[in-house]
Amino acid sequence: MKKVINQYGSLLQVIVLIVAMMLPKITDNTLMQWLSLCLLWMLALWKLRNPNYLYTIIKDKAFVAYLIFVIWAIFSSFFLSVAKSISIMTLITFLGGALSYFIAYTGNEKKELYFDRFILFLGVVLVFYTCYQKFALDMSRPVGLMRNWNTHAAFLAMIILPLLMRYALKSTISTWLLVFISLLGALFAFAMGLTLSRGALLILVVGIVCCLLFAWRQQLFFKHSLLLFGSLIVGYLLNGFIVTQNIVLRLGTISDTDSLTALGSGRDVIWGAAWHMYQDSPLFGWGLGMFQFLYRQYKPPLSFELAFFAHNDYLQFLLELGPIGLLIFIAFICVLLKRLLILIINLDSTPVSHKIESFIYLTVCIGLLLHTFFTFHLYQLTMQIMFAYYLGRSTRHFYLAQSIAIYKKNLQQENKLYFSLYRGFVTILVLLMLCGGLSLYYLQQAEKSQNKRQQLNYYWLAGLFFPPLEHYDALSALVLSKKLLDMPIGSSQHEEMAGLALKKINAAIDKVPLNARNYATKAGILQTMRADSTSVVEEYEHALTNTPFDFGIRYDYAHFLVATQQTSKALTVLWGLGEE
C-alpha cells in the first residue's frame, strides 16, 4: 500500500490542486469556492504533518509578508468591515493563495512535471475553446472558462510563458522540439489576441525583457530564444490578418485618444469612484469585498458600468483594507522584486537549473502583478492559486539554488508539542469548514426555493452555522411587514408583530448596512406603525443613498410622499430631478 501511495501520491496531489484551481470557474458560486478551499486545506494539512516544512517556510520573507497581509485581511473582516459576512466569504480567495504558496513550496520535481503537463494540456484545450467561442459562437471577446477576457488572456499567458522561457534558456534544443514549442507559442498568442486584451501583453513583455536581461547577464543567450519569443509576435500578427476586430487595431486606439481613457477603457470612471470611496473611509477602509456594494452609490449617474471590482487591485486594497493593507502588500512585492534582481545580477556557482526555474516563475508573477493594475486577478480564486503556486515554486528553487535544504532530516521528528497543536488546529479547522460549508449549502438552497416558508427555514439554518448572515432577519421582517397590512392598526397583535418586524430589520441592517432593500422594508414597517413621517423619510433616504438607481424604491418613496401631501418632493424623488 505504501508503495502505491508513493507511486501515485504525487499525481493525485497535482490532480487535486488543478481541480481546486478550476472549480471556481466551472461553477461560479461561493459554495464551489469553499469546496476548492477545502481541497487546498487537505493538501496543506497533509504536508503540515511534517513540521520541517513549517519551520523552513516561516523563514521565507515573501511568504511571511503575504501571510501578514492575509492576517490583516482576516482582522479587518472580523472587526473593521461594515459587512462582516461578505468580507469573511471574500477571504476564501486570499486564504487559497497562501495555501497554494505553501503547497508549491513543499513540492518536488515529479509533482512539478505532472503539473506542467496537466496545465499545458488544459491550456491547449482552452486555446481551441477560445477559437470555438470566437468563430463558432461568434463571441466578440472570448472568455474561455474565466468569464472575463482579460483574466482568460492572462491565464493563457501564465501557461505558455514559462514553457517558452525554459527552452529559450537551454543551450541546445532539437529542431522538432523547437518547431513544436514555437507552434504552441503562436497558437497561444493567437488565442490571446482573440480576447482583445491589451493588458495581458504586459505579462509577455515583462517575461521576454527579463528573460533577455537574465540570459545576457548570466551568459545564457542562445539564438533559438529569438525564434521562440518571435512565435508570440507571429501569433498576434496572424490574428491581425484573420480577424476583422483584432488586437492590432485595438492597440492602435491608444494613440488616438486621451492616454488615461485609452489605456483604461473606461476604467478611469471606476477608479474615480473608488478613490472617493477611500476618501470617505481613509484609515482602515470599508472591509474586504465591499467595493461592488459601495459602487452603486458612488458611480456617476450616467454610467452603466456594474463594476464588481475596481479594475485595479492596489486601489481596491487601499479602499477595502486601508493604507495598512496596501503597504503590507507593497512590502510583499518589494521582497519579490529584490529576489528577482538577485537572480538576474548575481554571478555565482549556484546550480543553474534551480536558478533558472526560480527566475522563470518569479518573472511571470511580476508580470501578473503589473497587469493587475488594470484588472482584478488577485480577487479571483483561480488566478490566486496559479499566482501563488508559481511563487511557492519559485521560492523552492530559489533556496535550492543557494543549497538551502527545504526538508531537513536532522530536525527532530517526534515533536510532541507540535503534533498536539497540529491535532487541535485540524479539529478546529474541520469544524469551521463544516459550518461554513453547511451555511453556504443552505444559502444556495434558499436562493433556489420559490416557497417563502421554505426560504425562511433555509436562511435560518444558514444563519445558524454562520451568524453574520442577514438573510433570515431581512426576509422575516419582509414577511411580517406584509402581514401587518392585513391587521387592524392599533391592536395588541399588530403592535407585537410590528415590534418583532422592527427588531428583525434592525438586526439585518446592523449586519449588512449597505443593503438598500432593508431600509425600504423598515420604512414600510414604520408606515404601518403610523410612525412620524420624518423617520420614514430618513429610511427611504438611507435606501437611496445605498442604491440611488433602484426605481422600485423610488416609486414606493414617491407614493409615500404623495400620501403625506408632499407632491413636489415626490416628483423630485421619482424622476431624480434634484433637490427642491
Span 510-528, pLDDT tens digits: 999 999 999 999 999 998 8
Which three three-digit cell numbers place residue 166? 525554459
Helix (H, G, I), strand (E, B) or coil at 413: coil
Span 364-406, pLDDT tens digits: 999 999 999 999 999 999 999 999 999 999 999 999 888 766 6
- Number of C-alpha atoms within 13 angstroms, CB side, residue 450? 0
Decide: 518 and 470 in contact? Cβ < 8 Å: yes
pLDDT of residue 171: 81
Quick one: average pLDDT of 139-150? 90
Span 194-245, pLDDT tens digits: 999 998 999 999 999 999 898 888 777 677 888 899 999 999 999 888 888 7
410: confidence class by pLDDT, cuts 50, 70, 90: very low
Span 2-50, pLDDT tens digits: 555 566 788 899 999 999 999 988 777 889 999 999 999 999 999 998 8
pLDDT of residue 565: 84
**pLDDT at residue 578 tops 50:** no
How many Å is the Cα radius of gyration of the chain?
27
**pLDDT at residue 82 tops 60:** yes
pLDDT of residue 576: 62
Residues contacting 315, CB < 8 A, separation 6+: 271, 274, 275, 278
440: confidence class by pLDDT, cuts 50, 70, 90: very high
**What does the alpha-carbon distance between residue 413 and residue 52 come to, in Å, rounded to a whole number?**
8
**What does the alpha-carbon distance between residue 142 and residue 130 come to, in Å, rounded to a whole number?**
6
Helix (H, G, I), strand (E, B) or coil at 29: coil
492: confidence class by pLDDT, cuts 50, 70, 90: confident
Most confident range, picked from 206-210, 491-495, 551-555: 206-210
Which CA distances in Å does 230 have to 186, 189, 199, 224, 248?
8, 10, 19, 10, 16
Helix (H, G, I), strand (E, B) or coil at 239: helix
Helix (H, G, I), strand (E, B) or coil at 486: coil
Which candidate, 76, 9, 101, 163, places its Cα nearest to that of 386? 101
Span 309-364, pLDDT tens digits: 999 999 999 999 999 999 999 999 999 999 999 999 887 655 578 899 999 999 99
**What does the alpha-carbon distance between residue 127 and residue 5 come to, in Å, rounded to a whole number?**
34
- 3-class secondary structure per residue, 331-377: HHHHHHHHHHHHHHHCCCCCCHHHHHHHHHHHHHHHHHHHHCCCCCH
Length of the chain: 580
DSSP 78: I
Architecture of 470-580 per CATH? Alpha Horseshoe (1.25)
pLDDT of residue 408: 52
Decide: 69 and 313 in contact? Cβ < 8 Å: no
pLDDT of residue 256: 55
Q: Give me the chain's average pLDDT, please.
A: 88
Quick one: average pLDDT of 293-307? 79
**pLDDT at residue 413 tops 70:** no
- Out of 90-104, 225-239, 327-341, 424-438, which region has the weakest mean confidence (pLDDT)? 225-239
Q: The whole model's pTM is what?
A: 0.93
Which three three-digit cell numbers place residue 204? 509577455
pLDDT of residue 265: 64
Decide: 22 and 382 in contact? Cβ < 8 Å: yes
